[in-house]
Chains A and B, each alone.
Chain A
Amino acid sequence: MSGPRVAVVQMPGVNCEAETVRALERAGLAGEIFRWTRAARELADFAAYVLPGGFSYQDRVRAGSLAAKHPLVDALAGRADAGAPVLGICNGAQVLVEAGLVPDGGKVEVALARNRMPGRTGYFTRWVWCRVEETACVFTRGLAPGTLLPLPAAHGEGRFTSGKRGRIGALVEAAQAPLRYATPAGGLAEGFPANPNGAEAAVAGLCNRRGNVLALMPHPERALDLGQVSRGIGGEWGMKRDRALAAGGGAGFGDGPGLALFRGLALHLGVRVA
């Protein structure tokens, strides 16, 4: 695969690395699995980085907490400071938050806490609507504010929160929340299950000020094809899915909503998108 090289940084316990590489390749990037046993200095050879989903170190102590101390994450922090894009998906987002790469500066300022859901606890999975907000985020580049993307969420600890009162709201005001949970009509999600975890200000993804580091809880790499879009999703994406599936053959493999975020990265890295 040609195109800028992107490292998919795999810690032990991560399980979404293969589909993340596929997502990058579909966007015209050269995705490559970079296992935790490799030397941190080798990360310098890559243009961008993705920390994929899964359960790094079995979520021991706290989701993302042990991986956040890994020397590879120190190296990623250096690359991020230099402007390289870094995307953390689900467990990858938990690592970025525990490492202080999001929201900024290396200080841990927020948490991805256990879900708060009425009448239930634990792991929860559902397709949710995410609304693109106006920010400097690299990964939503090319997407108009207000764009709605249906994406699957699947986690037990995905609630963006902070012990500092008003901190999450301030980050939203500072244009550091490029994706927020929404209703199918595009309004901000006000409760469960549109907001699947009780995240403050319905934040689904939080980025640094510069916009090159994004911690995102839903899984765009699981929404690459139209045929993957849940039957529960209506609207424009539902119609696209139905038309593709009715056409049969490989039509279900038409571009799904999750690909848009990897295309944003490709656009940022100068890849010409067909």
Chain B
Amino acid sequence: MSPRKDGDTVEAAVAQAFVETRSEDPEAVSAREVARVRLAAGAKLKSLRRLRLFELAGALPARRELEDLFHRSTWFYNPAKERCTVRATGADAAPFSEKEALVLVVDRGLERRAPAERWWRHETGSQVEVREGVVWALGFEPGADAAREAASLAAVTDRAHGLLANPHFQAWSASAGVHPPWPWFTAPKRRAPKGDA
């Protein structure tokens, strides 16, 4: 990324917003319990969090204005119920711990959010691309091979294996820690069954 000073703003190529519920997330609780009880790879799963990830690409303002724009629009999150962490540069920390394994799940070909892009253009005059996916943050008990177990829990292959993505219409990519890929959407490691179109 090559930031450019422009008055009070910095024109950036990418920004990421991680949105998580303020209260316990029922979807993550259900997924965690099903993984623990039904799937061998989930036996050592200690925690599971679900965050919505918005990734913006285009001419973007500096962090403060970015945060304000995300806060103002219901296309991104509800500040009364959710918290939002913005990464304005790749050096910024994402809201994960170093030990958490991460799985980004994206509906292939349906990740763009046209209404959010229209809202952004209306508010700022700038044309940006907005993509949305889900990041699952997995914490495992000590001694578990977090990367391997997370990969086993990611793509469903049968009733006993996989949960977080159906690879027949979703792409997933794995990462870990506080500095996930930057950008993550535009160059994710796409995974699909052999023979994928």
Is A77 among interface residues, defined by CB-CB distance under 8 A? Answer: yes
User: Whole-angstrom distance between the alpha carbons of A164 and B166 in the complex?
Assistant: 12
Nearest residue, chain A, Cβ from B136: A61
Q: Are A60 and B169 in contact (CB under 8 A)?
A: no
Name the interface residues of B93-131: CB closer than 8 Å to any CB of A.
107, 110
Given contacts A65-B156, A68-B159, contact A114 B31 (CB under 8 A): no
Least distance between B60 CB and chain A CB atoms (Å): 24
Residue numbers in B under 8 Å from A68 (CB-CB): 159
Contact A66–B195 (Cβ < 8 Å): no
- B14-44 with Cβ < 8 A to chain A: 26-27, 30-31, 34, 38-39
A residues less than 8 Å from B26 (CB atoms)? 58, 60
| Cβ B168 vs Cβ A165 within 8 A | no
Residues of B within 8 A of A60 (CB): 26-27, 30-31
Once the chains bind, are B31 and A66 in contact (CB under 8 Å)? yes
How long is the Cα–Cα vector from A27 to B110 in the complex, in angstroms?
41
Distance between Cα atoms of A66 and B157 in the complex (Å): 14
Q: Per-position contact with B for A66-85: 1 when CB-CB < 8 Å, else 0?
A: 10110001100100000000
Q: A98-B156, A108-B156 are in contact. Are A163 and B167 (CB under 8 A)?
A: yes
- B38-82 contacts to A (CB < 8 Å): 38-39
- Contact A66 to B107, CB < 8 A, known contacts A58-B26, A61-B27: no
Is B6 an interface residue when CB atoms closer than 8 A count as contact? no
A164-B157 Cα distance, complex, nearest whole Å: 13
A164 touches B194 (CB 8 A): yes
User: Does B91 interact with chain A (Cβ within 8 Å)?
Assistant: no
Judged by a CB distance under 8 angstroms, whether A187 is at the interface is: no
B158 pairs with A163, CB closer than 8 A: no
Chain A nearest Cβ from B137, distance in angstroms: 14
Contact B159 A74 (CB under 8 A): yes
The complex places the Cα of A110 from the Cα of B168 at a distance, in Å, of 6
User: Which chain B residues numbered 152 to 169 have a C-beta less than 8 Å away from chain A?
Assistant: 156-159, 162-169
> Could you tell me if B107 and A113 are in contact, using CB atoms closer than 8 angstroms?
yes
> Would B166 and A65 count as touching, CB distance under 8 A?
yes
Interface residues of A in 143-190 (CB under 8 A from B): 159, 161-167
Asked if A272 lies at the interface with its beta carbon under 8 angstroms from chain B, I say no
* B185-197 vs A, Cβ < 8 Å mask (1 yes, 0 no): 0000000111111
On chain B, the residues within 8 Å of A61 by CB distance are 27, 30-31, 163-164
How many residues from B make CB contacts under 8 Å with A? 28
Given that A69-B34, A69-B38 are known contacts, is A111 also in contact with B159, CB under 8 Å in the complex? no
B107–A108 contact, CB under 8 A? no
CB nearest to B155 among chain A residues: A108
- Say which residue of A69, A99, A111, A164 sits within 8 Å of B196 (CB atoms): A164
Q: Does A106 contact B (CB under 8 A)?
A: yes
Question: Contacts of B110 on A, CB cut-off 8 Å?
Answer: 114, 116, 121
Tell me which residues across on chain B come within 8 A of A162, comparing CB atoms.
Answer: 168, 193
Complex CA distance for A107 and B38, rounded to whole angstroms: 16
Q: In the complex, what distance in Å separates the CA atom of A164 from the CA atom of B196? A: 5
Q: Which residues of the other chain, A, contact B31 by a CB distance below 8 angstroms?
A: 60-61, 66
Chain B, 129-178, CB within 8 A of any chain A CB: 156-159, 162-170
Residues of chain A within 8 A (CB-CB) of B157 are 107-108
A100 located at the interface, meaning its Cβ lies under 8 Å from any Cβ of chain B in the complex: yes
Whether the Cβ atoms of B30 and A69 lie closer than 8 Å is no
Is there an interface contact between B159 and A77, defined as CB atoms closer than 8 Å? yes
A65 to B166: give the CA distance in the assembly, Å. 9
- Would you give 24 A-B contacts (Cβ < 8 Å), ordered by A? A57-B30, A61-B164, A62-B166, A62-B170, A65-B156, A65-B163, A65-B166, A69-B34, A74-B159, A107-B158, A108-B156, A108-B157, A108-B158, A108-B166, A111-B168, A113-B166, A113-B169, A159-B169, A162-B168, A163-B167, A163-B193, A163-B195, A163-B197, A164-B195
Further contacts, 7 of them, CB under 8 A, given A60-B27, A65-B156, A164-B197: A60-B26, A69-B159, A99-B159, A111-B169, A113-B166, A163-B197, A166-B195
